[in-house]
Amino acid sequence: MEQLYKILEELRPDVNFKEETALIDDGILDSFDIVALVGEIDEAYDIVIGVEDLIPENFNSVEAIMALINRLKSGE
């Protein structure tokens, strides 16, 4: 989780990711951020986030992003 926080904080130092739970619904992250984020996550966790995974539910909070990473790592 710390690695993910580090990626997010580098991407958007202006956002408190520990408190925000509606990153997409509240418009905190937009499509530019998500595409940059996906590249970083793919590289850091050696996974492939597919286009079909680019849905708000997967990016609304740090927990949701971590759950997506874990799902993809376990091959679900």
Partner 1 sequence: MKKIEDLSEVSSLISSFMKKNILSNNYIMPEKYAAYIREAALYFEKTESALVLFLDCHTYWRVFYYIKDCSADIMLPQDKPLAMEIVSKPNSDSYKKAIAYWVSKGFEPCIYRSRMTATPHSLQPIGQQGQELTFASSQQAEIIQMMIAEAFDPYFGCVPSVPEVERYIENKEIIIAKGQSNHIEGLLHFGQKNLTYFVWHVLVHPNFRKNGVAKKLFGCFVSNLPVSDKIKIQLWVKNDNNAARRLYETLGFEYDGWQSVGLIKKH
- Judged by CB, which is closer to partner 1: 6, or 39? 39
At residue 67, the 3 state secondary structure works out as: helix
Count H helices and E strands in the chain, helices first. 3, 0
Cβ at position 56, least distance to partner 1 in Å: 8
- Judged by CB, which is closer to partner 1: 25, or 63? 25
Selected from 4, 17, 45, 49, the binder of partner 1 by CB under 8 A is 49
**Ramachandran sector of residue 46 (left: φ over 0; alpha: ψ -120 to 50; beta: rest):** left
Selected from 3, 6, 30, 67, the binder of partner 1 by CB under 8 A is 30
Helices 62-73 & 31-45 angle (0-180, nearest 10): 40
- Contact residues for partner 1, defined by CB under 8 A: 24-27, 30-32, 34-35, 38-40, 42-43, 48-52, 54-55
